[in-house]
Amino acid sequence: MTNSKLKEIAAQFKIEGTVRDVKQLGEGFINDTFIIETSDDAPNYILQRKNKNIFSPIPAMMENIYKVTSHIKKKIIEAGGDPMREAMTVTEAKDGKLYFLDEEEEYWAVCPFIDETIAYEAAETPELAYAGGKGIGKFQSMVSDLNEPLTDILPGFHNIRFRFKQWDEVLAKDPVGRKAEVAEEIEWIESRREEMLNFWKLVEDGTIPTRVTHNDTKINNILFDKKGEVLCVIDLDTVLNSTILNDFGDAMRYYTNTGLEDDTNLDNVSMDMEIFKAFTKGYLEETASFITDIEKEYLAFSAKYITYEQVLRFLMDYIDGDNYYKVKSPEHNLIRTKAQYKLLTSMEEQFDEMQKVVKELSA
């Protein structure tokens, strides 16, 4: 994508000021992200090419984001806060749509860049994890009374029954002949299949309630202000109706890992109990007004559930020939599989203690 093309796309949106430059930002697994730099006092903006192979349909996804952010903004205004800093904003295209469709049928969306914020790549301290727990808890609390349904633009996301269906299909096909080489890793998945399905049945039969959830609660999806307080939850592509346990579990998969998601040195990878404790404390403080006993009972389990799901998804993508996640090497998805499995086993070893922590904090 040439720079002038990017500037042309930026010009399709209702942005303040004049566009000075558009530059690539980070390297997401799914979308392509750019920053629109404007001149003068106007804010900068984030421009994203949304991945239509994953989120479908994109216009419905943007509607979901709009519903959620509008609802949150109302709450922030009621509380006397700043709705432009404490919530994400969808910047409309000049024709009033929430996205721009280019001539290659690619979807683009823009939001203002919130400046003077910090995004952390890792939960380095319990204090940070505590703040993160409060951030996710507060997000869920603010949307807990959003009664409009969201469109399911990611059918089966964090639904292990659906993942097993994909898994069984990919294994039956073995499209690139990688299956034989990962027999041991496949067994990691198979040996826990029933345990995971038993949990999901409780969501399917309504024992565990379905609510509005974020579904991608890694720490860098929260912006902190300079005082270390949570300002705003971002990356709302995956807002869905699901169980709040998925948000908690995914955060724990990310925050408590002492290593990297794709660490090649498995000795680095383990679950940090102090981080688990701190996040859970913050989370339970903010969700106290609506969280039910059954949800609390499965909080610790949800960390294992989502980590397991991630092992499955990385391994499945490896066997499938790397079609979903962007990879930096042919082995990348297998490296991720092994590192996430190490994290899962560390959680399993510490599970009794995790349960105890949740019990004590919710007493």
Mark the segment that binds ligand GN1 (CB under 6 A) among 22-30, 91-99, 106-114, 192-200: 22-30
Instruction: Pick between residue 44 and residue 221 the one whose CB is nearest to Mg ion.
Output: 221
204 contacts 240 by C-beta, under 8 angstroms: no
CA dist., res. 42 & res. 110, Å (int):
15
Instruction: Pick between residue 235 and residue 272 the one whose CB is nearest to ligand GN1.
Output: 235
Q: Does 30 bind ligand GN1 (CB under 6 A)?
A: yes
Indicate the residue type of 241. Answer: N
326 contacts 181 by C-beta, under 8 angstroms: no
Q: In the 3-class helix/strand/coil scheme, how is 147-195 assigned residue by residue?
A: CCCCCCCCCCCCCHHHHHHHHHHHHHHCCCCCCHHHHHHHHHHHCCHHH
Q: Name the burial class of residue 181, with classes exposed (0-12), middle (13-18) and buried (19+) by CB atoms within 10 angstroms of its CB.
A: exposed
Instruction: Pick between residue 87 and residue 339 the one whose CB is nearest to ligand GN1.
Output: 339
Peptide bond between residue 330 and the one before it cis (omega within 30 degrees of 0):
no
Q: Which of 238, 243, 302, 350 binds ligand GN1 (CB under 6 A)?
A: 238
Q: Does 216 bind Mg ion (CB under 5 A)?
A: yes
Helix (H/G/I), strand (E/B), else coil: 50: strand
Q: Does 88 bind ligand GN1 (CB under 6 A)?
A: no
Q: Which does 310 bind (CB under 5 to 8 A by kind): ligand GN1, Mg ion, none?
A: ligand GN1
DSSP state of 46: E
What is the rounded end-to-end Cα distance, in angstroms, of the chain? Answer: 55
What separation in angstroms does the CA of 353 have from each of 239, 272, 346, 349? 31, 11, 12, 9
Q: Does 299 bind ligand GN1 (CB under 6 A)?
A: no
Instruction: Pick between residue 33 and residue 151 the one whose CB is nearest to Mg ion.
Output: 33
CB of 218 to Mg ion, least distance (A): 8
Indicate the residue type of 104. Answer: E
Q: Does 32 bind Mg ion (CB under 5 A)?
A: no
Stretch 243-282: interaction string toward ligand GN1, x if CB under 6 A: ------------------x---------------------
Mark the segment that binds ligand GN1 (CB under 6 A) among 23-31, 85-93, 166-174, 193-201: 23-31
Q: Does 235 bind Mg ion (CB under 5 A)?
A: yes
CB of 234 to Mg ion, least distance (A): 9
According to CB under 6 A, which residues from 34 to 63 bind ligand GN1? 54
Q: Name the burial class of residue 79, with classes exposed (0-12), middle (13-18) and buried (19+) by CB atoms within 10 angstroms of its CB.
A: exposed
CA dist., res. 95 & res. 159, Å (int):
36
Q: Which does 29 bind (CB under 5 to 8 A by kind): Mg ion, ligand GN1, none?
A: ligand GN1
CA atoms within 13 A on the CB side of 44: 14
Instruction: Pick between residue 235 and residue 295 the one whose CB is nearest to ligand GN1.
Output: 235
Q: Does 216 bind ligand GN1 (CB under 6 A)?
A: yes
Instruction: Pick between residue 92 and residue 216 the one whose CB is nearest to ligand GN1.
Output: 216
Q: Does 250 bind Mg ion (CB under 5 A)?
A: no
**Contacts with Mg ion, residue ranges (CB under 5 A):** 216, 235
Interacting residue ranges for ligand GN1, rule: CB under 6 A: 28-30, 54, 216, 235, 238, 261, 310
